[in-house]
Each structure stands twice: as C-alpha cells, then as structure tokens.
Amino acid sequence: MNFNHSAIESLRERSIVTLKKNWREGFTVPSANLYPFQWLWDSGFVSMGWSLIDKYKARLELETLFGAQWENGMIPHIIFHNDSPEKQYFPDAKFHGSEASDLSPKHVKTTGMTQPPVLGFVLEFLFENEIDKQKYLDFYRSAVKSVFRFHQYLYQNRDPKNEGLVYIRHNWESGTDNCAVWDSVWARYSAPTYDFVRKDTLHVDQSQRPTKKDYNYYMNLIELSRNCGYDEQKMYEILPFLIQDPLFNSILAKSNQCLSRLSNALDLPELSVQFDEWYAKTAHGINTKLFDDVLGQYTYFDLKNNVQISEPTAMGFAPLFAGIASEERANKMAELILSKHFLGENLDGYLCPSLGYSSSAFDPVRYWRGPIWPHINWLLAIGFKQYGFLEIAEKLRNDIIELSVKKGFYEYFSPIKSEEFKIGYGGEDFSWTAAILLLIME
Ligand code: 2M8
C-alpha cells in the first residue's frame, strides 16, 4: 500500500485528536472506557508521542508518573488517579490494596506491581527533542534520578542469583498479559475460583480478551502479594510466578544504555557509570541464558520451576532493540520472522504477530496470543534496522500504518489478511496507537 502525503497528514491529524481526547489532568488514559487510569508503559510511549506535538504535556505525563513512585523505588503499573471510573475497571484499587505496604504513596492508590521499564529510552527521546535543553535541565536531572532508583530497585530485589536478569512476579508486569508462555506456569497449580464481575468484557468482546479461568490466576497472584504486604522477599519465597522475560529485560537494557548517555549529557557521570554496568550485566544475562538455538530466538525462563519456556513470540526478538544480539543470532531471527512461523503458511501476513502461527495457542484475535501490537512493531523495527535488515523494518512500520488506515486506531490487529478479520480489536481510539503513528511517520 502506498501512502501519499495527504493520507499521512490525515493520519497525523487523527493521532493528535486521539491523544487530546484521552488527555486527563496531567496524564493520558490508554483508552477512555476500557482503561480509565494511568499505566506505566503506555505513559512512556504516549509521552514520546506528546513530545512531537506538545512538550509540556510530554514532561507532565512523566512527572505525574514519578509522583506515584514507591519509597523503595518501584514505579507502579497502574495509578488510580480518581475513584469514579472504578466502576469501569476491575480489579480496582481496593482489590490491589497498595496500602498493604508502608512503601506505597499515601496520596494516591496504585497497584503493587510494575511494568516494562521504558522510561530510560523515553527520557532520552524527550531530551533529544527539546528545543531549549538548558531550560529543562532540572526536570531531566530529577527524572533520571527517579529512574535510577527504579532500576536499582529492580536489580536489588528481582535478581536473586545476580545474573543481570530481573524477574517479573505477575503476568501483568510483562505488559503481555495472557502470553501463551504462562500457560505452563498455570498448568502446575490451580487458582481458586473468585467471585467477581469482569468489566473489560463490557467494553470488548470476550473472544478478544483473556479467559475467565486466566483471570482467576491473575487475581490469585495479586491476593497472595497483597497478603505479603508487598514485601519483596516474602513474595519471592511464596509466589508461583517468577519469570525472566526477554522483553522486560531487553527494555531494561536499552533504557540503561540511553540513560548512560543522558546522564553524561546532564553532567551526572557517576550515574552514567552505573547505567553502563547494568547494561553490560543484563546484556550478558540475556545472551547466556535466554537464547533458544532450536527456536532461533530469545525466550523465557521460569525461575520458580527452573525451566526454559519456548514459544515463538514477537517479544523474543526484543534483544535486537537493545543491540545485544550477535550478528549470527540476528541473522537467525531475521530468517525466523520471515518464515511461516510469523508470516503464515502463504508468507503473506502482517508483521509481527505477538505469538507465532506454529504455537498451539495461536489465536489471531485474542489479545497477546496472536494479534499485532503497534508499540511492539515500533521497537522491533528499530531493532531490525539497527542490524541492517531494512526491509523487515520497513514492513513492520508500514503494516502498522496500513492497519490503522484500514481498520482504525485499535489496541491490536489480526496478523491474517482476510475479509474474516477486516476490523481492529480491543479498545478503540487507543493512545499508544496514536503515539506510535506519530513516531513512525516522523
Ligand atoms: C493491558 O493490561 C491491563 C492490565 O494491566 C488489562 O488488560 O486490564 C495490557 O495490554 C498492558 O500491556 C497495557 O499496559 C494495559 C493498558 O493499555 O492494558
């Protein structure tokens, strides 16, 4: 599909309208009805989008996020800025019960978990796009220090074997909620059946969301964590879900690398040294522990059960984004993404399905089990481009533009090109879809 100047212009306009519509007082909701609060990694991507059209809002978005940082340095995954939309979303602030920990903020409720640490590369992007850098040095110095505390929290509390790989302790921390990789974790135990009313399925058809059974596991992990008072050591000892995730760790590595450069630019050399050390350590951990030679990409490690879990996923390409894969591994991954595992039997699909077609759990419309996600395409495009795979990068970028033009600003899209899947899926007028379009049309 060719995109002429006026098509690109109208897409840009629509992106701006979408971001403005989803702006609240000091932050952006991912989607007005489905997700009415502030989410960590959504805010990161959205802030980069804002920085191209309204730099004040870009900074404020992050400032609001830092305002909810826990005393131990953790930046929480959801910040429940107000009570009323709780009727729209479950599990609500009460169920998460952040007040169970003395370390949580007193002025606002949050969840007791985090999300992929995107803020490092986000801050560097914002800083590079500032017109008057001198004017905002204080903001950036303070922001870098906040993210430094966040990464320090991750390395001190989530890397028990000192491998440079931090673990996630809830599937929502991955950002890829119902990823098929967790199925093997759930298969090892049964979660209690909770009596609750889901709100997500009021807004989006059940067939595009995680199952009710899955939700019991999600709730159970929250309940167990809350009962530990969100004490990291206690959670480490009892939680059945401790995963070293290639996307989370690659994002952490990339952020460290960006923050090292940014700290130097801000005259904070001692922080830069630490960010460099963390980058090297995590790159080493990812390369020594997470690559699966048979699959031809990076994969997951279940720390609780001491076993590697291999599924073909979009997330398994993420180490390219952080520049930590060797040329040889990058070649293998380029071969894999262009194979029937990711393009489908006729090699004619859109890239990049969150789960490969060859997985038995593949489902083109069910959330993180097959659909394409705009922000994942954005980071994979950067990754493949860095290694010289320009055509793959172009396709990742163009497919998102084509899907948004044809189907709208949806949360996710089916990778299969056919009449059967002619609509977009999940939430509509989605903030990071708008932000990513602004970034890739730059
Ligand atoms: C989705 O996750 C939330 C829970 O965090 C949900 O389904 O209720 C995920 O796609 C996550 O990555 C994203 O940050 C969030 C808001 O867009 O929605």
Q: What is the CA(77)–ligand 1 centre distance, in A?
A: 9
CA distance linking residue 121 with residue 136, whole number of Å? 17
Q: Are 387 and 372 in contact, with CB atoms under 8 Å apart?
A: no
Residue 287 pLDDT: 98
Q: What's the Cα-to-Cα distance from 351 to each of 266, 321, 378, 434, rounded to whole Å? A: 38, 16, 11, 18
Q: Whose CA is nearest to atom 17 of ligand 1?
A: 30
Say how many Å lie between the CA of residue 166 and the centre of ligand 1.
20
Smallest CA-to-CA distance from 113 within 148, 145, 154, 81 is with 154
Type of residue numbered 153:
Y
**How far is the C-alpha of 358 from the C-alpha of 161, rounded, in Å?**
33
Active-site positions read: 177, 411
Report the atom number in ligand 1 closest to the C-alpha of 30. 17
Residues 6 or more apart whose Cβ sits within 8 Å of residue 191: 216, 217, 219, 220
Residue nearest to atom 4 of ligand 1 (CA): 172
Q: Is 1.50.10.10 the CATH number for 5-440?
A: yes
The pLDDT of residue 84: 63
List the residue whose alpha carbon is closest to atom 9 of ligand 1.
Answer: 175
- Distance, in Å, from the CA atom of 440 to the CA atom of 322, rounded to the nearest integer, reads 18
Atom of ligand 1 nearest to the CA of 177: 9
CA 367–ligand 1 middle distance (angstroms): 10
Q: Ligand 1 centroid to 273 CA: how many Å?
A: 33
- Please give the chain's pLDDT, 442 residues, in tens: 667 888 889 999 999 999 999 999 999 999 999 999 999 999 999 999 999 999 999 999 999 999 999 999 999 999 999 876 667 899 999 999 999 999 999 999 999 999 999 999 999 999 999 999 999 999 999 999 999 999 999 999 999 999 999 999 999 999 999 999 999 999 999 999 999 888 999 899 999 999 999 999 999 999 999 999 999 999 999 999 999 999 999 999 999 999 999 999 999 999 999 999 999 999 999 999 999 999 999 999 999 999 999 999 999 999 999 999 999 999 999 999 999 999 999 999 999 999 999 999 999 999 999 999 999 999 999 999 999 999 999 999 999 999 999 999 999 999 999 999 999 999 999 999 999 999 999 8
- Nearest atom within ligand 1 for CA of residue 431: 17
Mutate to test the pocket of ligand 1, among 172, 182, 248 (most ligand atoms within 8 A of CB): 172
- Residue 124 near residue 111 (C-beta atoms within 8 A): no
Interval between CA 369 and ligand 1 midpoint (Å): 14
C-alpha 266 – ligand 1 centre gap (Å): 33
State the distance between the two ends of the chain, measured CA to CA, in whole angstroms: 18
Q: Whose CA is nearest to atom 5 of ligand 1?
A: 172
Nearest residue CA, atom 11 of ligand 1?
A: 175
Q: Which atom of ligand 1 is nearest to the CA of 200?
A: 8
Can you tell me which atom of ligand 1 is nearest the CA of 430? 17
Cβ–Cβ under 8 Å, residues 243 and 166: no
Q: In degrees, to the nearest 5, what angle opens at C-alpha 276 toward C-alphas 393 and 254?
A: 25
Residue 274 alpha carbon to ligand 1 centre in Å: 31
Residues in contact with ligand 1 (CB, 6 Å cut-off): 30, 35, 39, 41-42, 77, 172, 175, 177, 200
Output Rg (C-alpha) for the chain, integer angstroms.
Answer: 20
